[in-house]
Chains A and B, each alone.
Chain A
Amino acid sequence: MSETWMIAGAWVAAGLTICLFSFLYKDNPFFKIAEHLYLGAGMGWWFQVYLYNIWKPKVWEPLMAHDWMVLVPAVLGLSLVTQFVPKISWISRYGFTFLMGYGAGLAVPAGLSTDFINQIGGTIRPLSMMASMTSWAVFNSLLVAFGVICVLFYFFFSVEHKGHFKKVSNIGIYFLMIYFGAAFGNTVMARFSLLYGRFDDLYAFAASKYLYATQFILAGMIIYFAVHGFLNRGKKEAEAAQ
Chain B
Amino acid sequence: MKLIKKQIPLAIVFIFGVLTLGSYYVPHKLSVDYIEMMNKWENIVSAFAFLLGLVSLFYSHCNKISRKTDGWGYSIFVFAGFLAMVIPAFLNNGKQSSAAGVTMLGWAFRYVYNALSSTMFAVLAFYIVSTAYRSFRIKSAQAFVLFAAAFLLILGKVPLGQIIWDAALGWTGAGVDQVIEWVMSVPAVAGKRGIMIGISIGAIVTSFKIIFGIERQYMGKD
Q: Tell me, yes or no, whether A binds B.
A: yes
A residues within 8 Å of B by Cβ? 1, 5, 8-10, 12-14, 16-17, 20-21, 23-24, 32-56, 58-59, 70, 72-74, 76-78, 80-81, 83-84, 89-90, 92-112, 115-116, 119-120, 122-123, 140, 143-148, 150-152, 154-155, 172-182, 184-189, 191-192, 194-195, 197-198, 201
> Knowing A177-B142, A191-B122 touch, does A185 contact B82 (C-beta < 8 A)?
no
Q: Is B25 located at the chain interface by the 8 A CB criterion?
A: yes
Contact B12 A9 (CB under 8 A): no
Q: How far is the CA of A24 from the CA of B41 in the complex (A)?
A: 45
20 CB-based A-B contacts, threshold 8 Å: A12-B112, A21-B119, A23-B123, A40-B83, A41-B82, A41-B116, A44-B84, A80-B48, A95-B45, A104-B17, A108-B208, A116-B197, A119-B196, A147-B187, A148-B194, A155-B194, A178-B191, A185-B151, A195-B125, A198-B118
Q: Give the most central of B107, B132, B150: most A CB within 10 Å.
A: B150
Q: How far is the CA of A99 from the CA of B42 in the complex (A)?
A: 7
Contact B82 A40 (CB under 8 A): yes
Q: How far is the CA of A178 from the CA of B147 in the complex (A)?
A: 9
Contact B16 A102 (CB under 8 A): yes
Contact A44 B44 (CB under 8 A): no
What chain B residues lie within 8 Å of A123 (beta carbons)? 193
Q: Is B163 located at the chain interface by the 8 A CB criterion?
A: no
Query: DSSP majority for the B interface?
Result: helix
Contact B15 A45 (CB under 8 A): no
What chain B residues lie within 8 Å of A194 (beta carbons)? 118, 121-122, 124-125
Contact B101 A182 (CB under 8 A): no
Q: Is B218 located at the chain interface by the 8 A CB criterion?
A: yes
